[in-house]
Chain A
Amino acid sequence: MQDASGAVVAFEQVTKRYPGSDAPAVDNLTLTVPAGEICVLVGPSGCGKTTSMKMVNRLIEPTGGRITIGGEDIMSLPAVELRRRIGYVIQQVGLFPHLTIGENTAVVPKLLRWKAERTRKRTDELLDIVGLDPAQYRDRYPNELSGGERQRVGVARALAADPPVMLMDEPFGAVDPIRRDGLQNEFLRLQSRVRKTIIFVTHDVDEAIKMGDRIAILQRGGILAQYDTPAAILANPASEFVERFVGADRGLKRLSLGRVRDLDHIEPVIVRAGEDRAEIRKRLDRSDDLAYALLVDDDNRPLGWIDQHDLRGDGPIDSGAATPGAPTVEPESTLRDALSAMLGSSVQLGVVVDERGRVDGLVSVDAIGERLRAPVRGMDGELHEVGEADATS
């Protein structure tokens, strides 16, 4: 449904100095956000992340440098017109309490003097997109909605005039952690459809890693400490500051970026009830990597592991022979979840299953370790060895 996708947003040596303060709030910031990507500005308080974001729609005017959207200088049109072309979502949502949900969503179209019919259609479409039934929500007031519902209306309102660029200031900061996760996933799905260029501010490094196509880490005084993909930043922090900011568990954080489908799968030795034990022993011996065979049911679903001990003697094996508890993982599972499941079981192999629970292959803890040591693609598109720019090594 979206024709307009995002536009490139570029900061060129942007500086903000407040009168009466020696140190700049944002110091000579240069970075480019490609069209249709989410750039997360993250850093401790006082790092200038919110100031940087608010300079894009001129809620704060830069004192030096320039910002362009789609190549056009933001100073080339009046601030209010600029703002109507940029979606804006804030932490407290800021829905207007005296307007219905429909009216709130229609705020920018109304400022742009859209025809009533077009506005009405767009409003219903948007409420639908953010998962709120228009018939049920259109005429309600904000105080009749839950925090999560209000946040969705905030996103719908920001999208109303189909702006190429959206600014989001800690948009999920006021939602409880469980709902936040859901709203984040929902927003990522929405973004994969609308492909806006999004500048997203947070102080939470985990949220930055999850939401960002790329992350700009700022440090006090508005200095850009590192700008790269989440994987590249976690693999190669550019400075001690970045390393401390992303946390000592950055290896584990990288695991939440990888998926099981990215790992090399091991071919399992598949066994069904009734097969001959000697035959299974032979097949298991031929396999270099595996000390266990995997017993499956008639639908190819895993029942459990069979070890050498279970295979002593001759005759058919029965379905009760297996040691139950083979952890199953899905291709879309994060490596973090997969590792957690595998470490908790006696055989440290994960059974990759498809959506119907049928065996697709095996993954090992070693493969996850290898994955962490493999080169990481940075935002320059190149592969970089892990730790090559490690400031502390």
Chain B
Amino acid sequence: MSDGEGPIRIGWIVDRLDLIGELLRDHVILTVLAVVIGLIISFGLALAIRGSPRLYGPIIGVSGTLYAIPSIALFSLLIPITGVSIVTAEIALVSYTLLILIRNIVEGLNGVPPEAIEAANGMGYTRTQRLLRVELPLALPVIVAGLRIATVTTVGLVTVTALIGLGGLGYLIVNLGILRGSSPFAATAIYTGVALAVALAVFADLSLLALQRALTPWARRRSA
């Protein structure tokens, strides 16, 4: 397909490889930051829930509510407080990871076989040793499953932060695409952004799956 005819203008893409590379990098940074911060907060909250299970309802309720707020609405609520900044973007992105991560961490820890806990206590593990050496490793498959969903979701949500001037690949879709609907290159920009965002999501998902497999060899090997 030549440069002047079809919806995809290869030449346009080639001319902007540097920009696209930067946007991709930003997209990865925004995603990783959101997931890592979300994971840390979720861990803290999941441990709090384990300490007093009565907290489960309220914490899941609040994170569920956050999850339900439309992202555009959340930005407009935050901008008066935190301004048009990466902080605003991350507050929103992190909020959306909490529900999935907290639920999976709590479920993963609850799924540890009670006899493993009993044995660990009887062997003389301290509570921390038991958590780090027995419970977390055994909860890992469920936690990573949550991490995969949270990451893929975040990769998608990052594009929306283009509305406040961030957005990584969302810049291609929103700023160079939708907002310039009359431009002959709008479609090319949108397709490029979407394709890269999807590719990034798939790549992140498969990487985490590979990581989980590498960390849990015991979960696969079975005798006949």
Q: Which residues of A contact B (CB under 8 A)?
A: 57, 59, 80-85, 88, 90, 92-100, 107-108, 111, 140-145, 157, 167
A97:B113 contact, CB within 8 angstroms? yes
Smallest beta-carbon distance A148→chain B, Å: 13
Candidates A57, A93, A111; contact of B125 at CB < 8 Å: A111
B216 within 8 A of A: yes
Q: How far is the CB of B212 from chain A (nearest CB, A)?
A: 12
B54 contacts partner chain A, Cβ-Cβ < 8 Å = no
A166–B115 alpha-carbon span in the complex (Å): 18
CA gap between A72 and B123 in the complex, in Å: 20
From B119, B124, B217, B222, A94 is in contact (CB under 8 Å) with: B119
Given A80-B126, A97-B218, A108-B124, A144-B223 contact (CB < 8 Å): yes
User: Taking each of B119, B121, B218, which has the highest tally of chain A beta carbons within 10 Å of its own beta carbon?
Assistant: B119
User: Given known contacts A90-B115, A90-B118, A92-B115, is B218 in contact with A143 (CB within 8 Å)?
Assistant: yes
Inter-chain contacts of B222 with A (CB < 8 A) = 143-144
Measured CA separation A97–B121 after assembly (Å): 16
Instruction: Assess whether B221 is in contact with A141, with CB atoms less than 8 Å apart.
Output: yes
Could you tell me the distance between the alpha carbons of A145 and B115 in the complex, rounded to whole angstroms?
17
Set of chain B residues within 8 Å of A59, measured between Cβ atoms: 118, 121-122
Least Cβ–Cβ distance between B57 and chain A, in angstroms: 25
User: Which B-chain residue is minimally distant from A85 (CB atoms)?
Assistant: B124
Binding site for A on B (CB under 8 A): 113, 115-116, 118-126, 129, 134, 137-138, 216-219, 221-223
The CA of A96 and the CA of B218, in the complex, are separated in Å by 10
Distance (Å) between the CB of B45 and the closest chain A CB? 24
Question: Which residue of A has the minimal Cβ distance to B126?
Answer: A80
The 7 tightest CB contacts between A and B, nearest first, are A94-B119, A88-B122, A83-B124, A84-B124, A92-B115, A94-B115, A144-B223
Shortest Cβ distance from residue B121 to the other chain A in the assembled complex, whole angstroms: 6
A154 to B137, CA, bound (A): 20
Task: Pick 11 A–B contacts, CB within 8 A, sort by A.
Answer: A88-B123, A92-B115, A94-B118, A95-B116, A96-B116, A96-B119, A96-B134, A97-B219, A98-B219, A141-B221, A143-B221
* Contact among B119, B123, B137, B221 with A111 in the assembled complex (CB-CB below 8 Å): B123
Contact of B124 among A82, A90, A143, A145 (CB under 8 A): A82
The answer to whether A93 and B115 have CB atoms under 8 Å apart is: yes
**Closest Cβ of chain A: how far from B112's Cβ, in Å?**
9
Inter-chain contacts of B120 with A (CB < 8 A): 94, 96
A98-B138 CB under 8 A given contacts A143-B218, A143-B221:
yes
Are A84 and B115 interface neighbours, CB within 8 A? Answer: no
Cβ–Cβ contact A98 & B216, under 8 A: yes
With a CB–CB cut-off of 8 A, which chain A residues contact B129?
A: 111
Inter-subunit contact A83/B123 (CB<8 Å):
yes
Distance, CA A167 to CA B119, complexed state (A):
12
- B114: min CB distance to chain A, Å: 8
* 20 new A-B contacts at CB < 8 Å, known A57-B122, A94-B122, A96-B120: A80-B124, A83-B122, A83-B123, A83-B124, A88-B119, A90-B115, A90-B122, A94-B113, A94-B115, A94-B118, A95-B116, A95-B119, A97-B116, A98-B219, A99-B218, A111-B129, A141-B217, A143-B218, A143-B223, A145-B223
CA gap between A143 and B219 in the complex, in Å: 9
